[in-house]
A and B are shown apart, each in its own frame.
Chain A
Amino acid sequence: MTGLMRIGTAIVVGGWMVSAGAGGQPGSEPAVQVPPPRSVNVSKGVAPLFFRVSPVIVIVPSGVVQVGTPAPEQQTGGKAAEPAPPPSATDVLP
């Protein structure tokens, strides 16, 4: 939908670019920011949409983070995150 533009079979997705700039401290910038690709291609022959509602799926928390205050801009944020179960830990109930 938004952020998409079709050109032929290509869809360009609303991506973004990281600019680690004036607010950061040289050498302190964590290299964890990975921008999404600027474009992906539409797969051909994808099944058409149909209406579907799943049974109940239980999603467990993947972690807890404390934002904290005050937090200087140089920090990447949260204090220590608690050990987290795998993010895909879901159980489908009958």
Chain B
Amino acid sequence: MRVIAQSVVAGAVLLVLSHGALAYDFDGTRSGEYLVGDPPDVQLAAGPNHLVELVNSRMRVFLKNPLGEMASTVDLGTLLGCPGPFDPRVRYDAQAQRWYISAARFGSQDSRVCFAVSRTPDPTGPFIQYQFVIDPTVFPDFDTLGYNDDKVIVEFNRVPVEGASPPIAQTGVELWILNKADLLAGGPVRSQSVFPGTFVMPATTLSSNTTLYLENLEETRIVLMSVTGVPGVGGGAVVTTLPTLPFSANFVAPSSPQKNSDNLLYTVGSIRDVVYRNGKMWASATSACTPSGDTQTRCCLRLVELNDNGAGSFSIAQDIEYSQANTYYFYPAIGVDATDALVVGFGASSSTIYPSFYATGRKATEPVNTLHGPTRVAAGQAPYGVNCLLFGMPLCRWGDYFGAAVDPVDSHTIWIAGEYAAYPTPTWSTRIEQVSTN
């Protein structure tokens, strides 16, 4: 499949982004606010009446009407029953009408991945807490969440700690498959632990499906797995490694410069999101490429759509490398609406741009392998300067990901949340934006 370095549909209007008089966007959380950490690792999910934003390590609940009014705020450690959580994730499961939240926690003898499920569609109501206890010698990192009709998957990286006693048996990746009916009942949950042998990210499944897919974009192949069955029912969950797809990418993404600063943003390359809907599966990643009209390697967005051909067979439908000369794009968060329109929220920075929040997207009816030109959602106001001595170098932690969510009521609305550098330096702020695909 062809890869387009700079793919733009000229003149068409996909994104109805409002600025100024119409308040369809608002700031979520800002660095320095009450017990908020740096960097944020912002996440977003949308329910019937609420938006939930997570950062390290706080949850804020905003109303959709009036838009942006804060309905509740809670320490994520309290919500999860898990002190010092990090790498928060949130999803709203429209079919189940529940919110799922996860985060990791590391302690010398208390490493866990913490999970909570709401009892109702109201995120200001009660949540049931569950804990996945991990070998005390393992640092759990970069937890991810996926779900489908009958399962929820929580996955995390197992980072071994040197000198641990006893030594851990396995490093790499671990995932837990949870019986969704048990979760919704709020009692004991039948589950199965899986070491998949390689990193794969569980899909957010937005159309009815009893198979939950997992995917990773690697430099020479696309790795796919499926999970069928349910823990504790019949033969339980079955994890199947599917045929890989040939692929070519560079995920050694460079750090990103920012305007008026010698500090670089530590922008990590690799997969960010996987969304399955209507027989299609989109994955997004930060990659490295040389944009058209450029001579240097920059951070770029890689967006790959697969066709589900049935019986575990997938094929590449679209493969887009989205970039701009002299500019660094990173952390694409994706949402897919009922018509298979794609919306991407992502970060941008360069020697002439403060760290900013942008969006792009495409309608399903538009030419394949094309995206609209970038739309700026929130302009950076200053260089960022917190946590800027990583590895003894002038590298700033800028977080690992942004958030996107399809509205469960208006399927032509996708909400995105991203981070931008805010004045006065060196703070960050998040912006939540309503994107219409009509």
Contacts and interface: CB of A to CB of B under 8 A. Distances in A.
Contact of A62 (B130, B236, B387): B130
A53 B192 contact: yes
B197 A1 contact: no
A94 interface: no
Contacts of A57: 190-193, 231
Q: Which 3 A-B pairs have the closest CB atoms?
A: A77-B74, A23-B34, A41-B162
Contacts of B57: 16, 33
B167 A58 contact: no
Contacts of B438: none
B139 A49 contact: no
A67 B72 contact: yes
Interface string B363-390: 0000000000000000000000011001
B124 A73 contact: no
Interface in B184-207: 186-199
Interface stretch (B169-177, B274-282, B299-307, B410-418): B169-177
| Size bin of chain B's contact surface | 35 or more
B168 interface: yes
Contacts of A36: 84, 86, 105-106, 139
B79 interface: yes
B237 interface: yes
B66 interface: no
B23 interface: no
Nearest to B126: A66
A43 B160 contact: yes
B37 interface: yes
6 contacts: A3-B400, A50-B197, A62-B81, A67-B125, A71-B74, A77-B59
B13 interface: no
Given A20-B35, A71-B72, 13 more contacts: A3-B141, A12-B390, A16-B39, A16-B397, A17-B387, A36-B106, A49-B172, A49-B198, A60-B189, A67-B124, A73-B33, A87-B112, A87-B133
A72 to B, nearest CB: 8
Nearest to A23: B34
Contacts of B209: none
B124 A69 contact: yes
Contacts of B131: 59, 62, 87-88
A40 B159 CA distance: 8
Contacts of B137: 43
B162 A68 contact: no
Contact of A56 (B112, B191, B195, B400): B191
Q: Which of A12, A37, A75, A87 has the most CB of B within 10 A?
A: A87
Contacts of A1: 141-142, 157, 173, 199, 270
A51 B39 contact: no
Contact of A88 (B125, B133, B400): B133
Given A21-B33, A46-B167, A84 B81 contact: yes
Given A29-B35, A41-B161, A67-B125, A59 B188 contact: yes
Interface in A10-41: 11-24, 29, 32-37, 40-41
Contact of B86 (A7, A12, A15, A59): A15
B116 interface: yes
B423 interface: no
Contacts of A56: 190-192, 231-232, 236
A51 B197 contact: yes
B401 interface: yes
Interface of A: 1-5, 7, 9, 11-24, 29, 32-37, 40-47, 49-78, 81, 84, 87-88, 90, 93
A78 B59 CA distance: 11
Nearest to B107: A34
Contacts of B123: 67
Nearest to A17: B38
B93 interface: no
A32 B277 CA distance: 41
A45 B162 CA distance: 10
Contacts of A17: 37-38, 386-387
Nearest to A61: B128
B132 interface: yes
B436 interface: no
A57 B190 CA distance: 6
Contacts of B112: 87
A50 B37 CA distance: 35
B36 interface: yes
B172 A68 contact: no
A20 B105 CA distance: 19
Nearest to A46: B171
A74 B191 CA distance: 37
Contacts of B33: 21-23, 73
